[in-house]
Structure formats: structure tokens, C-alpha cells
């Protein structure tokens, strides 16, 4: 079986080339061809000798992702892509345009094990992790189809990125490699529902990417109800991990807060959010809930603004995320891809 060349970083490519009795410096040329020139077949790699191109053809494939569909919002041009992987599994990713910002929201897993109650992906169960190449290719193809190049890449699509930690960091390394896409590390955001052990790992490894934590409630029983992962990783421990991360890396963290009517949108919730995040350099991003489930609806706009004002009074940086792509089911928490395999609520170690 051919290897996916997008799975490899420059160092791994060098090792592979050495195994093929080729000089390591060719790896940089190949990397540039893949990520700067965006060549799509080995014949295009005119910087390489013909014999090497033939060798590469026998060892590697360049593409594993097939675009099945895409849909563009008539309201704001948010574009959602449906991809098919080589084993037939399907995932989605989204381009969001907002002023000068062009955000590529990408997936890290097929489905998700964590079953957050307001999220469509959680209803799929976990099917499998994506490989680094499958993550990288989402960005490559979207770049071709986007009207502007990406300014931000966020791991906020399908899946919990921290449960596919190695592949996610590997792909982020390929995005930001100066020999390749040279994408700003700070503009790559890894979002987690609170897998604490990997927040510590990210801090200890000094990973240069931004961290977002999907907090969504500051009340332990409520958070356990809407995010079952909280039973294993309680709020107090999560906030200690966030503080450790900000102290160690000297970077701010973003707390995402999906606002759900009657569940986490009260004045007391806002005050508790201010109290609990005191001392943690952070910004707070409020996302009016996008769920179809009648139990998990967004509050009315007045309530969203009231919550915003209350938090704002504490001089926290708070933003409200627009519901971009809501009508094409491309907004936060709406991604869902039909897959042939039955939904599996696989028990996994988080």
C-alpha cells in the first residue's frame, strides 16, 4: 500500500529518502513542491530528477481526500465541505469569512466520543481518528477553493483534537513549517472540551499554537449534564490546568462558552464565570447555541447581550461569535456526516 506523502514532515521525508538511497536535501525540494507550489502529481516536480519522480510514484500517493460536496451560504459565503476518506468514511470542514478574517475550521476525527449534548458530531459516536495527512489535505483543498487565503486555522470541526493529539500536532507542524506552508503558529488554534492531561502536555512541550477551552458552564453538575467528559475532568481541575498553561507558556487561553437558554445563561452564571476565571489571562468567546435539539436552544438576543455586558463589566475581553453558516448547518456544533458504518459509542480512555 502506498504511503500518504502528506503524513510526513520534512524530517520523516528525509529518513524515507535515505531508505531509498536518495540524498536528504531532496526532502526540502519535495516539501516546497507540495506546500509552496502546491503540485498535485509527481510529474509536476520538475525540480527533481525523472528517476526520483518514478521512485516516489512507487512509494507515495499524493491525495487521499475526495471532495464529495460543498455548500455555500447565500447570507455570508460560509462554505461547508464534505470529504470522503479512502476507507469511505466522511467528514466535514468549513470556511468562515468575517471582515479580513478567513477561518478554516477543520476536523480531527471521524465523529466524536465525547457526546456533548448540544453538538451534532457527538451524536455520531467515534468512528476513527484522522491521520495527519487527512488533516493537512482539508486545508490544502480548501485553500484552492477559498476566495482568500486563510488567516486562521482552528481545530474546532468534528472530533476532540486532544484525543488525536499526535496527529493534530504533527499536522500543525506541517502547516507552520517555514519550508512549507509557513502558516503563523499563533493563528493555529487547538480547541479542547477539557482533556486536562493534554493541556499539561501542550504546556510542557511548549507547543507554539493557541489553546481554546470549551468551558460552557461553571457549575459542575450542569457541566456534567451537557458535557459528560466533565465527570472525569472537573471544572476546578480544568481551570488549574488552564492557569498552569498560561503561566508556563505566557500565552492567553480562550474560553469558549456555548450559551444555552435556561441552562448556563443566568446572571449567576455570568458572575461565577468572572469569579472562576479571575487570575487566568484569557478571553471569553460566547457562542449562542446552534443545536437543533429543543432542549438546547440559544437564548434570545437580549439575554445574550445581557450576559456579554455582565462579563464585560469585569474588564474581561469577551466576544460574541456570529452564527455564521447556521442555515447550512456549518456553524459551531452543527457538523455531522452520514457514514456507512453504524454509529459506535465506543468506550475510549480519555
Catalytically active residues are 92, 332
Closer by beta carbon to ligand SF4, 114 or else 188: 114
**Per CB under 6 A, does 112 bind ligand SF4?**
yes
User: DSSP character for 131?
Assistant: P
User: Contact with ligand SF4 (CB under 6 A): which of 137, 160, 265, 269?
Assistant: 160
Query: With CB under 6 A, what is the number of residues at the site for ligand SF4?
Result: 12
User: Contact with ligand SF4 (CB under 6 A): which of 138, 164, 193, 246?
Assistant: 193
User: Contact with ligand SF4 (CB under 6 A): which of 159, 173, 180, 299?
Assistant: 159
Least gap, CB of 331 to ligand SF4 (angstroms): 12
User: Contact with ligand SF4 (CB under 6 A): which of 89, 94, 122, 310?
Assistant: 122
User: Contact with ligand SF4 (CB under 6 A): which of 4, 14, 78, 121?
Assistant: 121
Closer by beta carbon to ligand SF4, 60 or else 336: 336
Within 265-306, strands assigned E span 282-288
Least gap, CB of 348 to ligand SF4 (angstroms): 12
**Per CB under 6 A, does 116 bind ligand SF4?**
yes
Nearest to 212 by CA among 242, 249, 234, 167: 242
Sheet with 317-320, strands from edge to edge, namely 66-72, 79-84, 90-98, 101-105, 152-155, 188-192, 210-214, 253-259, 282-288, 317-320
User: Contact with ligand SF4 (CB under 6 A): which of 8, 30, 119, 190?
Assistant: 119
**Per CB under 6 A, does 218 bind ligand SF4?**
no
**Per CB under 6 A, does 190 bind ligand SF4?**
no
C-alpha grid cell for residue 347? 468506550
Q: Is residue 204 within 8 Å of residue 165, measured between CB atoms? A: no
Nearest to 104 by CA among 129, 63, 138, 70: 138
The H or E element containing residue 25 is: none
Region near ligand SF4 per CB under 6 A, out of 32-40, 156-164, 172-180, 239-247? 156-164
- Relative orientation angle of helices 235-249 and 196-204, to the nearest 10 degrees: 10
Least gap, CB of 116 to ligand SF4 (angstroms): 3
**Per CB under 6 A, does 264 bind ligand SF4?**
no
Nearest to 170 by CA among 217, 122, 132: 132
To which residue does cell 520534512 refer? 10
**Per CB under 6 A, does 10 bind ligand SF4?**
no
**Per CB under 6 A, does 130 bind ligand SF4?**
no
C-alpha grid cell for residue 238? 480544568
In terms of DSSP bridges, do strands 3-4 and 60-61 run parallel, antiparallel, or are they unpaired?
A: parallel
Least gap, CB of 202 to ligand SF4 (angstroms): 16
Closer by beta carbon to ligand SF4, 158 or else 270: 158
Region near ligand SF4 per CB under 6 A, out of 158-166, 218-226, 243-251, 292-300? 158-166
To which residue does cell 456579554 refer? 308
Q: Which of residues 316-345 bind ligand SF4 (CB under 6 A)?
A: 333
Three-state secondary structure call for residue 304? helix
Region near ligand SF4 per CB under 6 A, out of 154-162, 164-172, 272-280, 286-294? 154-162
In the chain, % helix, strand, coil (3-state, to 5) comes to 40, 20, 40
**Per CB under 6 A, does 150 bind ligand SF4?**
no
- State the Cα–Cα distance between residues 334 and 350, nearest whole angstrom: 23
- State the Cα–Cα distance between residues 24 and 297, nearest whole angstrom: 55
Binding region for ligand SF4 (CB under 6 A): 112, 114-116, 119, 121-122, 158-160, 193, 333
Amino acid at each position: 500500500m502506498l504511503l500518504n506523502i502528506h503524513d510526513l514532515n520534512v524530517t520523516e521525508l528525509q529518513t524515507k529518502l535515505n531508505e531509498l538511497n536518495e540524498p536528504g536535501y531532496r526532502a526540502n525540494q519535495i516539501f516546497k513542491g507540495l506546500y509552496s507550489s502546491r503540485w498535485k502529481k509527481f510529474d509536476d516536480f520538475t525540480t527533481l530528477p525523472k528517476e526520483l519522480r518514478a521512485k516516489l510514484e512507487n512509494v507515495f500517493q499524493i491525495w487521499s481526500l475526495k471532495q464529495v460536496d460543498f455548500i455555500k451560504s447565500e447570507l455570508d459565503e460560509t462554505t461547508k465541505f464534505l470529504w470522503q476518506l479512502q476507507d469511505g468514511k466522511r467528514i466535514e470542514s468549513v470556511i468562515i469569512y468575517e471582515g479580513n478574517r478567513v477561518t478554516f475550521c477543520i476536523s480531527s476525527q471521524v465523529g466524536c466520543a465525547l457526546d456533548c449534548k448540544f453538538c451534532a458530531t457527538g451524536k455520531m459516536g467515534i468512528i476513527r481518528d484522522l491521520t495527519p495527512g487527512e488533516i493537512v489535505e482539508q486545508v490544502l483543498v480548501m485553500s484552492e477553493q477559498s476566495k482568500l487565503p486563510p488567516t486562521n486555522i482552528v481545530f474546532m470541526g468534528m472530533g476532540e483534537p486532544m484525543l488525536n493529539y499526535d496527529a493534530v500536532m504533527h499536522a500543525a507542524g506541517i502547516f507552520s513549517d517555514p519550508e512549507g506552508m509557513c502558516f503563523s503558529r499563533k493563528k493555529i488554534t487547538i480547541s479542547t472540551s477539557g482533556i486536562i492531561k493534554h493541556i499539561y502536555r501542550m504546556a510542557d512541550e511548549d507547543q507554539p499554537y493557541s489553546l481554546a477551552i470549551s468551558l460552557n458552564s461553571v457549575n459542575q453538575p450542569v457541566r456534567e449534564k451537557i458535557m459528560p467528559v466533565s465527570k472525569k475532568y472537573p471544572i476546578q481541575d480544568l481551570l488549574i490546568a488552564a492557569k498552569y498553561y498560561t503561566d508556563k507558556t505566557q500565552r492567553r487561553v480562550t474560553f469558549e462558552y456555548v450559551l444555552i437558554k435556561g441552562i448556563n445563561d443566568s446572571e449567576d452564571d455570568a458572575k461565577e464565570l468572572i469569579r472562576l476565571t479571575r487570575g487566568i489571562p484569557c478571553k471569553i468567546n460566547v457562542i449562542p447555541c446552534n443545536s437543533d435539539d429543543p432542549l438546547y436552544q440559544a437564548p434570545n438576543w437580549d439575554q445574550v447581550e445581557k450576559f456579554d455586558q455582565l462579563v464585560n463589566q469585569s474588564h474581561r475581553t469577551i466576544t460574541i461569535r456570529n452564527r455564521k453558516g447556521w442555515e447550512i448547518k456549518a456553524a459551531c456544533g452543527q457538523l455531522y456526516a452520514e457514514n456507512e458504518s453504524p454509529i459506535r459509542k465506543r468506550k475510549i480512555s480519555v
